[in-house]
Structure 1
Amino acid sequence: MNVADIVKETAARLPDKAALIFQDKPITYGELERSIEQAAAGIASLGIRKGDRVGVLVHNIPHFVYAYLGIERAGGVMVPLNTMYTADEVSFILADAEARAVVVAEPFLRAVDGLRETLPMLEHVVVVGGGSPIGTMGWDQMIGRGEAPPSATIGEEDLACLPYTSGTTGKPKGAMLTHGNLMANLEQMHRVPLLSEAETDVVLLVLPMFHIYALNVSLGLTFRVGATAVLQERFDPVASLDAIERHGITVIFGAPPMFVAWLSTPNVEKRDLSKVRLAVSGAAPLPGPVLEDFERRLGITIWEGYGLTETSPGVTSNAMGAEAKPDSIGKPLPDVELRLLDEQGDDVEDGDPGEIAVRGPNVFRGYWHDDAATAEAVRDGWFRTGDVAYEDEDGYLFLVDRKKDLIIVSGFNVYPREVEEALYRNPKVAEAAVVGVPHPYTGEAVKAVVVLKPGTSATEEEIIEFCKRSIARFKCPQVVEFVDQLPHTDTGKILRRRLRDDEQPAEETA
């Protein structure tokens, strides 16, 4: 069971079918399989053996796919690296993973400059595109070294991928995902009729493939069924809409900022999006008003899901139910067990919020070189996600917030997500985030950071008064800051930590 075999099997069945379309040029499954074989042979020629870690610092181009599945075919463990990382961040992850090699695209060479001198384990730097500086090797040079593909025997418990968590709450940790984890989650999603792709589908692949959502959902599910992925290097609202029209995109895997950006694109209603049959949102909570606006204006239903790096990533989806409920993350995928736990680790009463705990074949093996963090996160076989949700009478789950983001005002719990939903109902608000700030009287107060829609204006008092119409006074912001944009991770999660770093104490008010 090797995750790279999904392409081999599909290539045997559909050798002339387009697997990828990049810059309007198709790459067939047969061509893709040959490129993966070449990559595997070249990687093995570097001395990479079963279990060795190999970093990949490559953007959304076909060589990312060649490197990823070539590493898997050779028996190695792929360490995906965020292309927005600084040199220090790349160095930290490669050192922590004890990577023996790194594949890097030419635009990101600066991030690995000199690392071979500072990281004793790092033996090879392979460069995709451009020249090969002294001490590095070009991609074509590497694949020219290999003669025959390796024959590593891979089992479902063998490590396949070591993605590092986004680090929104601290230093990144490597999540050990096995071949069995990745394949299990592919099958879990494939068993959901609404989520399952078909050979005839054309998928927009614009999310960064270094993220597990794009890697195993957008890419993996596409190859699993023999569909075609239209690969874009980066997200641009207009360019992606052009691609949807030009290529007849039928499936979109996106993140909330993408859907928000499309809604803000001039004349978006005049675009021909008629072939889109499935739009999925993940990686960060999708505000209910965005879902409703997207369906009303464009006639496309967005099916929100929930997942984590540690769960390969899928856990729940609205597609498991009969409707796409606004603000809901849906119901658990097949073979995913889910509980909502209180502070004592017991199941909560019906309707009460509790921490999501997950068990299933898609749940990771633990954190790399961090037994303490693993023991804290996985107890009695259940992975404690740190996310809080409640279940309604129909069995749909609603994400409340992360435990760490909880704001306590005069002893009352305030979940940022609830306040943000109130803010999103304001027609002038494009995006909003809420954090807690110190308050001399109530302990903490709610601070809202707001991005207004183009051409609108609002005052702090106006925003606060609007919130008072729908949520309790203690939940309403006491401070409102207007900004041009919010800080996000690569896939749309709001970096609350950065907002907290800028926080100022709220004034004392009764």
Structure 2
Amino acid sequence: MTILSLASVLAEAARRYPDKTAIVDPYQRVTYAELWQQARAYAAGLRELGVKPGDAVALQCPNLADFPRAYYGILAAGAAVVPVHLLLTPEEIAYVLKDSGATLLISHAATLQNGAPAAGAAGIPLVTLGPVPADVPVKRLEEVSASVPPLPLHVSREAEDPAVIFYTSGTTGDPKGAVLSHLNLVLNATVNAFDNNDVSSSDVALGALPLFHTYGQTVSMNASFRIGMTVILLPRFTGDAAIDVMIKENVTIFHGVPTMYVALLEAAANRTDLPAVRVAVSGGAALPVAVLEKFKAVFGSTIFEGYGLSETSPTATTNQPHFGTRPGTVGHAIWGVDVEIARAEVEDSIELLPAGELGEIVIRGHNVFTGYIGRPEATAEAVIDGWFRTGDLGTKSADGFISIVDRKKDLVIRGGFNVYPREVEEVLARHPGVTQVAVIGVPDPVHGEEIMAVVIPHKDADAGAPTEEELIEYAKEHLGRHKYPRQVRFVDELPMGPSMKVLKRQLRKEITA
């Protein structure tokens, strides 16, 4: 039996850097020693509320210091965390609570409007964090925790025990709970902290990614704590707000998704004061090369693009300084992980393909989840012979760089020809009048599917608003006859998921409604 707990990430940071600031949010600054003491106090409070080792406890909280306090408090109590993202309806939250078997919901005061009815519908107790009106009859975790002594140590767990249960976006059917073990998440945080980029405890990271999401949780929070960095939390991201806080707090590390980099570039166009970003990391969705190049030109920083999924803790690959970076790729597999390309049309076995061939990206290693909770059939379909099938199409070069072509389900088949939306998006993203673009397939009576580009035009009047005909002609010049979009739709915004990834299924519904 191997004893390991994700709680040890914060415990060890508090031992090494007790007086260093761990977290800064708009309201407070908290040292590592204070944060670990508060987490152990919350753990004692949760025990007082009946939480036992092995239970699942749901956490619904914005990007505030309350999140890591409660997150590590749950882990210190020996329970597993079920993060609840903030955009869900009460009905959707209740589904997560029931499906995960959560015994308690911790809902921040700012989220009680949806959290309280969800806990009621699921038939489980509710406790809150943060200030609530005196006439609201709900227990506060702070008050319960203050009535008992903090736990002296975190509760021990086995390495393969559940630590966090992430719910997938549910693009096909009901969302599934991916169970990540302590081993999965401790190793992923450690590799991200010490093996992927040249960072140290003297760096300051911006925590703008939602902490309820796997990327923000592992890369921005856990890996930063593993190093001993200070994390600046930004509850609501905008380009200007991010630049302001990055300058104020001397932020050197930025973790973001492509839409965040687009927003930073838009904000930077109207400013002369820019932060000195030393390391920039992108994940969550494919980063257009044009955005990478613009960011380098404006901020002087190379973006290290990576790749992963909830089921892989999440990081599986990243561009790494010791391998060199290659724009348009997601780099090499991280330490201890194998990433290969398998024949996509073969679903009941893994047939690996040679370098350069297109297929499905498959992953094996310490980062692969232990399974979908309560869904052995879905787990068996996703993990074959130890390889996790990602559903993403890509290639691997002879020297190990992984390139993502597209999601299998996003493939557009026009007149019998396969068209990969990302290739079209890369071309249109270079047009000076385009801020952001998503390419989808829409029904067509002749070709089966037609290619449509949904575009957010550039706000800068000098760039000139592009016309539909102009963008179609531009694409025709750079793409094969079967690839360029025949339709262009202009919008003010694109539907985004909790990780700020474009929801293409929802976009197709909106466009074709």
Q: Shorter-chain TM-score: what band?
A: over 0.9
Task: Quote the offset at 1:264 in angstroms.
Answer: 0.7
Change (3 A) 1:426 1:413: same
Find the aligned partners of 2:263 and 2:450 in 1 and give their Cα distance. 30
Q: Render the CA deviation track for 1:361-408: whole Å, top value 9, x for unaligned.
A: 111000011111111101111100001111234321111011111111
Task: Quote the offset at 1:134 in angstroms.
Answer: 5.6
Any residues of structure 2 matched to 1:240-389 within 5 Å, and which? Answer: 240-267=242-269, 270-274=272-276, 276-319=277-320, 322-342=323-343, 343-344=345-346, 345-389=350-394
Q: 2:65 maps to which residue?
A: 62
SS, match of residue 113 in structure 1 = helix
SS, match of residue 371 in structure 2 = coil
Change (3 A) 1:321 1:351: farther
Match of 1:42 among 17, 41, 45: 45
Q: Render the CA deviation track for 1:400-442: whole Å, top value 9, x for unaligned.
A: 0111111111221111111111111211111111111122222
Any residues of structure 2 matched to 1:48-447 within 5 Å, and which? Answer: 48-120=51-123, 122-131=124-133, 136-149=138-151, 152-192=155-195, 194-267=196-269, 270-274=272-276, 276-319=277-320, 322-342=323-343, 343-344=345-346, 345-447=350-452
Find the aligned partners of 1:78 and 1:236 in 2 and give their Cα distance. 28
Task: Quote the offset at 1:321 in angstroms.
Answer: 5.3
Contact 2:107 2:126 in 1 (8 A): no
SS, match of residue 92 in structure 1 = helix
Change (3 A) 1:128 1:449: same
Q: Render the CA deviation track for 1:212-246: whole Å, top value 9, x for unaligned.
A: 11111111111111111111111121121111111
Contact 2:75 2:154 in 1 (8 A): no
Q: Render the CA deviation track for 1:126-168: whole Å, top value 9, x for unaligned.
A: 3432236665211222212433417632111111101111223
SS, match of residue 211 in structure 2 = coil
Find the aligned partners of 1:151 and 1:471 in 2 and give their Cα distance. 57
Contact 1:169 1:497 in 2 (8 A): no
Change (3 A) 1:240 1:297: same
Task: Quote the offset at 1:24 in angstroms.
Answer: 6.8
Contact 1:100 1:124 in 2 (8 A): no
**TM-score, normalised relative to structure 1:** 0.95
Q: Does 1:478 align with 2:486?
A: yes
Contact 1:355 1:389 in 2 (8 A): yes
Contact 2:93 2:118 in 1 (8 A): no
Instruction: Between 111-120 and 205-214, report the one with greater CA deviation.
Output: 111-120
SS, match of residue 197 in structure 1 = coil
Change (3 A) 1:132 1:285: farther
Find the aligned partners of 2:468 and 2:247 in 1 and give their Cα distance. 41
Find the aligned partners of 2:121 and 2:499 in 1 and give their Cα distance. 30
Task: Quote the offset at 1:110 in angstroms.
Answer: 1.4
Contact 2:42 2:142 in 1 (8 A): no
Q: Render the CA deviation track for 1:177-204: whole Å, top value 9, x for unaligned.
A: 0101001112222342x52531101111
**TM-score, normalised relative to structure 2:** 0.94
Q: 2:471 maps to which residue?
A: 463
Find the aligned partners of 2:424 and 2:284 in 1 and give their Cα distance. 20
Contact 2:239 2:264 in 1 (8 A): yes
Computed over aligned residues only, the root mean square deviation of the Cα atoms, in angstroms, reads 1.8
Contact 1:201 1:249 in 2 (8 A): yes
Task: Quote the offset at 1:30 in angstroms.
Answer: 1.0
Q: Give the letter for the 1:265 counterpart.
A: A
Q: 1:449 maps to which residue?
A: 454
Contact 1:103 1:128 in 2 (8 A): no
Between Structure 1 and Structure 2, how many residues are aligned? 502
Q: 2:29 maps to which residue?
A: 26
Q: 1:508 maps to which residue?
A: none
Find the aligned partners of 2:118 and 2:450 in 1 and give their Cα distance. 44
Contact 1:15 1:28 in 2 (8 A): yes
Task: Quote the offset at 1:267 in angstroms.
Answer: 4.5
Task: Quote the offset at 1:320 in angstroms.
Answer: 5.5
Contact 1:387 1:399 in 2 (8 A): yes
